Amino acid sequence: MRYSYQRELIKDIVRSSKTHPNAEWVFCEAKKKVENISLGTVYRNLKILENTGKIKSIHDDNQVRYDGNIEDHHHLKCVKCGALIDTDIQSNFDRKKIMDDYDFEPNEVKFFILGKCKKHTK
Amino acid sequence: MRYSYQRELIKDIVRSSKTHPNAEWVFCEAKKKVENISLGTVYRNLKILENTGKIKSIHDDNQVRYDGNIEDHHHLKCVKCGALIDTDIQSNFDRKKIMDDYDFEPNEVKFFILGKCKKHTK
DNA sequence: AAATTAAATAGGAATGATTACTATTTACAA
DNA sequence: TTGTAAATAGTAATCATTCCTATTTAATTT
Ligand SMILES: [Mn+2]
Ligand SMILES: [Mn+2]
Ligand SMILES: [Zn+2]
Ligand SMILES: [Zn+2]
């Protein structure tokens, strides 16, 4: 993999963000440093960074969002403002029961907890 | 809400399916009964049926799939063939811990268990 | 320090899922 | 029956994302 200033920039933007941004937001941030960077470059590098384990992606309804926190973790999602909040909540499921009851070999759980974040408590 | 043959048909197609189909599949099925039904009509009515609680929708990566099973339930998702399998697995999370630790008011959990269905066991 | 080469880019076109628009059709009530 | 507004078919538009390609650039070789 050849060095690319754009790719390093995109990685740093995602890694230092806490909002789980989408490609468009990353693009706008990147333009502050490379004024003529193209959106295609952002998408291509986000995918490369994901495939090489440098960042993670989250499918949030009809959009892809990116996460600079590559630790295994889950999220709270605010239904009011769309915020995604990192948690250390563990998912515990009964592997054997799933295999027995459904003839299915599980190996990962994805979940979000939907609700309201503190911004909306009156 | 005025009666519409197309809407009843779309409802019956989703209700009787077990595959959690997308709009395109529902459209193809519907054409077997109403040859010139339009895709827009399918999308519009799927949304109406969802909003009136007659069916549910599931965001599966970048596509919306529909579910005729309106009971509260979760799914196993096969990473090999994309199959979604209904389960009666319950999500148990500690509501109080979430409120205390994250200042977040949870009210629903969405999860999938990813893995391989029986079709891929050698 | 040039010349070489293939990877990466910018910019724009294409795609695919979904939604919006609009003239026509249809359910249903007066 | 006739009047009406809701629903439809057909099509155009939108939005996120991917694809294409001429040009630029990082890295290797002279
Ligand atoms: Mn996260
Ligand atoms: Mn289901
Ligand atoms: Zn919020
Ligand atoms: Zn499968």
- pLDDT the model gives residue B63: 87
For residues B11-35, give the mean pLDDT: 97
Residues of chain A with pLDDT under 70: none
Report angle CA A64, A65, A70 to the nearest 5 degrees: 125
Identify residues whose C-beta is under 5 A from ligand 3, the ion. Answer: A 78, 80-81, 83, 117, 119
| Nearest by Cα to B113 from A81, A38, A46, A94 | A94
| Nearest nucleotide, CA B4 to C1' | D7
C-alpha separations of B37 from B1, B44, B66 in Å: 19, 12, 19
Domain over A5-67 is classified CATH 2.30.30.100 = no
Nearest to A113 among B109, B112, B115 (CB): B109
**Residues sharing a CB contact under 8 Å with residue A90, sequence separation 6 or more, in sequence order:** none
Domain ranges of chain B: 5-67, 75-120
- pLDDT the model gives residue A122: 77
- State the burial class of residue A25 (Cβ atoms within 10 Å of its Cβ: 0-12, 13-18, 19+): middle
Residue with tokens 């989250």: A58
Please give the single-letter amino acid code of residue A45: N
- pLDDT the model gives residue A45: 98
**Nearest chain A Cα distance for residue B75, angstroms:** 10
- pLDDT the model gives residue B20: 97
Q: Decide if A38 contacts A31 (C-beta within 8 A).
A: no
Q: Decide if B44 contacts B10 (C-beta within 8 A).
A: no
Q: Is the pLDDT of residue B29 over 90?
A: yes
**pTM of the complete model:** 0.92
d(CA B42, CA B62): 19
Residues 77-116 in B contacting A (C-alpha not used; CB under 8 Å): 78, 85, 87, 89, 91, 93, 98, 101-116
Residue B33 touches partner A, C-beta closer than 8 Å:
no
